[in-house]
């Protein structure tokens, strides 16, 4: 187990490992401040690969103006210890200039409605930054498989499209959302919540789970289910809704009725903290 900060050292380490024996590389890209959701990705990667690389990099290009880049939680010593215990072989913690050399002006952009709705609507350059940094990290790590959490559902769909469109030789493995005992989806941003915000944030999972039940019971109209989710969330005085959407689970196309698997996704601010959550819904 080692902590690597330079691209060259990482590339050389992985080359030596592959030269000694044909080994598969699993990759878990993170922005750090690891929690059990990240650990589930690391453990899954360890089950399926010989070498597991975990990147810890708070990517500046996916943050917009007045977002939380500067205050995003960082603790590499903590992350290194946690990743090691979960089974990681290498923690890669580059500096910004290692990822974006001076004068860098090249981006990987997934165009179309897929990046303009949900989080892309309120964070217009977010996915441009996400796809660019993931592309760069894939080029450095050269993984056989890369592991992402379902909590960032739109991100997963966008990255899958990028990999398909650019014929990248990496398998994208999606792992289920990991939740706290009370149902709150695990997120590095949960540490921002005060006691009242934390308590009220439980409404996200509650509203989505109840919408699932209503659909199973026969109410498959998207307008009805969205209205129910909104009403339930708005009952919490600290909740400020960014979006509530129910879309096709594979394409994110708009739908009027749930006839096959759909994705119900929400983004809501509690105080200054923006949280996202989602569930799959089918009839």
Catalytic residues: 38
* Alpha carbon 110 to chain centroid, angstroms: 16
Q: Collapse the DSSP code of 168 into the 3-class scheme (helix H, G, I; strand E, B; otherwise coil) and give the result.
A: coil
Distance, in Å, from the CA atom of 232 to the CA atom of 203, rounded to the nearest integer, reads 7
Distance, in Å, from the CA atom of 233 to the CA atom of 30, rounded to the nearest integer, reads 29
Do the beta carbons of residue 173 and residue 193 sit within 8 Å? no
Nearest residue to 270 via CA among 203, 210, 197, 217: 197
Tell me which DSSP letter residue 145 carries.
E
Q: What are 53's strand-pairing partners?
A: 27, 90
Distance, in Å, from the CA atom of 64 to the CA atom of 125, rounded to the nearest integer, reads 7
Distance, in Å, from the CA atom of 103 to the CA atom of 235, rounded to the nearest integer, reads 48
Q: What are 149's strand-pairing partners?
A: 175
Do the beta carbons of residue 277 and residue 208 sit within 8 Å? yes
């Amino acid at each position: 187990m080692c902590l690597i900060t330079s691209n060259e050292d990482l590339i050389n380490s992985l080359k030596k490992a592959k030269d000694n024996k044909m080994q598969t590389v699993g990759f878990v890209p993170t922005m750090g401040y690891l929690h059990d959701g990240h650990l589930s990705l690391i453990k899954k990667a360890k089950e399926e690969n010989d070498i597991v690389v975990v990147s810890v990099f708070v990517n500046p290009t996916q943050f917009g103006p007045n977002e939380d880049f500067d205050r995003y939680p960082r603790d590499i010593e903590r992350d290194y210890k946690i990743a090691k215990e979960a089974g990681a072989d290498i923690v890669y913690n580059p500096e910004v200039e290692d990822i974006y050399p001076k004068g860098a002006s090249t981006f990987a952009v997934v165009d179309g409605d897929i990046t303009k709705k949900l989080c892309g609507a309120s964070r217009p350059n977010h996915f441009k930054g996400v796809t660019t940094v993931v592309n760069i990290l894939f080029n450095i790590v050269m993984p056989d498989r890369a592991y992402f959490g379902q909590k960032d559902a739109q991100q997963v769909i966008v990255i899958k499209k990028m990999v398909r469109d650019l014929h990248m030789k990496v398998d994208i493995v999606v792992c289920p959302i990991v939740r706290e005992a009370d149902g709150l989806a695990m997120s590095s941003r949960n540490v921002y919540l005060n006691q009242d915000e934390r308590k009220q944030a439980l409404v996200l999972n509650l509203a989505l789970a109840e919408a699932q039940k209503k659909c199973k019971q026969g109410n498959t109209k998207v307008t009805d289910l969205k209205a129910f989710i909104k009403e339930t969330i708005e009952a919490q005085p600290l909740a400020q809704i960014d979006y509530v959407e129910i879309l096709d689970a594979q394409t994110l196309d708009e739908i009027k009725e749930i006839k096959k698997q759909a994705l119900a996704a929400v983004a809501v601010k509690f105080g200054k903290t923006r949280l996202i959550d989602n569930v799959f819904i089918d009839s």
